Amino acid sequence: MHMETRPRRTGWVEYINKTDYVPRPEEVLFTTAPRDIYVEEGYDGDIPCITDDGRLDWFAHHPLAYPEEYQPSVKSRSYDIAFLELNVPGPTYLELPLQAEIIAALESGQYKVLAITAYTWMIPWALKLAERARRDYGIREVWLGGYGIMTPEPKIRQLFDRLFWGYAESTMREALGLSPMKPSQIEHPMLINESTYLAHKIKIGHLFWERGCTQRCTFCADPVFQPGGEGTFSVENVRRTLERYKEEGVVTVHLVNQDVRPFKDVGRQIIELLYEYGLPFTMMTSFLALTAKGHDGMKWLADKGLTMAQLGVESLDDTNLSKSLKTTNYDHISKTVRQMDDLRIRMSATYIVCFEDDTPESIHRSKRLLGDLGPIYTYFSILQPMPSTPQYYDMHKRGLINDWDFRKWTGGYLVWDHPTIKPDEAREIVRDMDLAINTPQYNQRLKREWQRISRMRERMHERGRAGYILDMRARARVYYHPQSDAQLPAAEFSARSGIQTATTRTPTTA
């Protein structure tokens, strides 16, 4: 399907077998990947961690040199199932279940359709489940959604009847004989996550006001899976969500559009709402969007409560940034971070190693530059040819992809033939970057952050003991929660001896 023919604000369906079958909603079983995925196979790969209590924790598999009690953590729901469960009533939804729970549901005999959502690294599991569901449990049709539909695996179009592209609230409703939904009618679910940072626990409410991405970075699957650029949820819908968050004791809100553009009209309205409710916020955004109104715009965001921006730095090499169509460069990045520092806006970052023009030496130089920028947390990954992206097609055309075990397509492995870096060396590079940039021994700004939090937290305790009411905005500034009594580390912030630094953990570890 050509990009220009695809709907922008809602999803679309690719029919492999157009049967016109319309199941009753209660005949549909919808499942995410199980939390014990691949355990039976003994696979111990570097995959994103699913916690024992059935939540995603994207930090848990990283080899940070923190004492265990200070490991950062964000335990979140699966976004796709949260939206579908609220907006598409009737199906049975299994969110990060155990494999035995999926099989038990299939054995019940009450379902005619199995719907699976998956990423690329989950596709081997999804294929086996689809085949087994048809063969052993009489499932009439099997549907697949999520980014995994773009995986270059021929069996996908042999085993699945329908592929759901993009966000599927409306297309799922139509598939079940329900009326479609306009984007403005989609209800926003409660996405309240427990976040731990430097031993402080708070409730964070995740919030979308639009979905899809307007950027065109060559390595990113978002613009292919769901193009963006138009608003999704009504402002009144967002207001209702914020009211519920406030009632539930949420301390700060994280704006998780793929690319938050805060200076659009709707963006300004949402940020004014956050300020009205006394909720400080953090956001995923790009350097282009953050600096669209210059220093004055960034100051307005800080005054309205922006405490942290999660930015896709990806590289500090201008060649890498230019070739991948990133809308920034090193000078722009460093200038923006200095302005953020002046405005007390913290930065967290995503960063990719092993671009084709990278060498071990160039990455080492970039490590020093990134340490000078001082993000409070950086999520590192190895460059992966994400299926259906321009980068994937370029690498495939040149015969560079050499590892087709999709379980490894997590960003934790080098699955293509790099000109100067070998797979084992790539994993060592990621480990080295993690242990340097995410520790205060190397990252001086992170060290100052720890010290600042320690001082401010003690002052807040003193004010609390004196009977003052602690303002939410101030609490969020220090990532504070009254139930957290842990003490920060000693001044040297040294890791305990013998800390585990291996990059592999079983997917069931919390």
Q: Tell me, what's the pLDDT at 410? A: 87
Residues 235-248: pLDDT tens digits?
888 999 999 999 88
Q: Which residues pair with 56 in a beta bridge?
A: 50, 76
pLDDT digits (tens, 9 = 90+) for 277-289: 999 999 999 999 9
Q: Give residue 493's pLDDT.
A: 36
SS (H, E, C) 325-343: CCCCCHHHHHHHHHHHHHC
Q: Is a pLDDT exceeding 70 seen at residue 70?
A: no
The set of residues, in sequence order, having a beta carbon less than 8 Å from that of 438 and lying 6+ positions away, is 62, 64, 65, 66, 377, 378, 446
List, in sequence order, every residue forming a beta bridge with 510; answer none if it has no partner: none
Write down the pLDDT at residue 58.
61
Backbone angles phi, psi at 331, to 5 degrees: -60, -45
Report in angstroms the alpha-carbon separations of 359 from 12, 328, 355, 366, 377.
Answer: 41, 21, 8, 11, 23
Q: How many CB atoms lie within 10 A of CB 509?
A: 12
443-452 — which CB contacts under 8 Å span 24+ positions? 443/371, 443/374, 443/375, 444/371, 444/374, 445/341, 445/373, 445/374, 445/375, 445/376, 446/374, 446/375, 446/376, 447/493, 449/198, 449/346, 449/376, 450/198, 450/488, 450/489, 450/493, 451/491, 452/478
Q: Please check whether residue 287 is in contact with residue 328, taking contact to mean a CB–CB distance below 8 angstroms.
A: yes
**460 backbone φψ class: left, alpha, beta (φ>0; ψ -120 to 50):** alpha
CA distance 150 to 397: 17
Coil, helix or strand at residue 438? coil
- For residue 311, the cross-strand partners are 285, 349
Between CA 156 and CA 165 the distance in angstroms is 14
pLDDT at 481 over 50: no
Handedness of CA 272, 273, 276, 279 (dihedral sign): negative
**Percentage of residues in the chain having pLDDT higher than 90:** 53
3-state secondary structure of 35: coil
Per-residue pLDDT for 507 more than 90?
A: no
- Quickly tell me which residue has 């292919």 as its tokens: 224
Mean pLDDT for 472-485 is 47
d(CA 320, CA 363): 11
| Residues 309-339: tens digit of each pLDDT | 999 999 999 999 999 999 899 999 999 999 9
Q: Is the pLDDT of residue 250 over 90?
A: no
In this prediction, residues 148-162 reach a mean pLDDT of 95
- Answer whether residue 3 shows pLDDT above 60: no
pLDDT range class, residue 480, cuts 50, 70, 90 = very low
Mean pLDDT, rounded, for 443-458: 72
Closest C-alpha among 70, 74, 29 to residue 55? 74
Residue scoring higher pLDDT (277 or 480) = 277
What pLDDT shows up at residue 213?
Answer: 80
Cα separation of 333 and 343, whole Å? 15
Query: CA-to-CA distance for 13 and 309, rounded, in angstroms?
Result: 34
Helix (H/G/I), strand (E/B), else coil: 158: helix
More confident residue, 374 or 390: 390
* Strand, helix or coil for residue 491: coil
Q: What's the pLDDT score for residue 59? A: 59
Averaged confidence pLDDT in the chain? 83
Residue 306 CA, chain-centre distance (Å), reads: 19
Q: Tens digits of per-residue pLDDT, 329-374?
A: 999 999 999 999 899 898 989 999 999 999 999 999 999 899 888 8
Round to whole Å and give the CA distance between 361 and 352.
Answer: 15
Q: Which comes out higher in pLDDT, residue 420 or 449?
A: 420
Task: Map residue 313 onto helix, strand or coil.
Answer: strand
Q: Residue 387 pLDDT > 90, yes or no?
A: yes
CB-CB neighbours of 225 under 10 Å: 24
Residue 75 confidence class, pLDDT cut points 50, 70, 90:
confident
Angle at 254 between CA 248 and CA 255, to 5 degrees: 120
Helix (H, G, I), strand (E, B) or coil at 346: strand
pLDDT in tens, 210-236: 887 878 889 888 888 877 766 677 888
Query: What pLDDT, on the 0 to 100 scale, is given for residue 194?
Result: 75
For residues 506 and 49, what is the distance between their CA atoms, to the nearest angstrom? 8
Please give the pLDDT value at position 185: 87
Q: For residues 65 and 439, give the distance between their C-alpha atoms in angstroms, rounded to a whole number.
A: 6
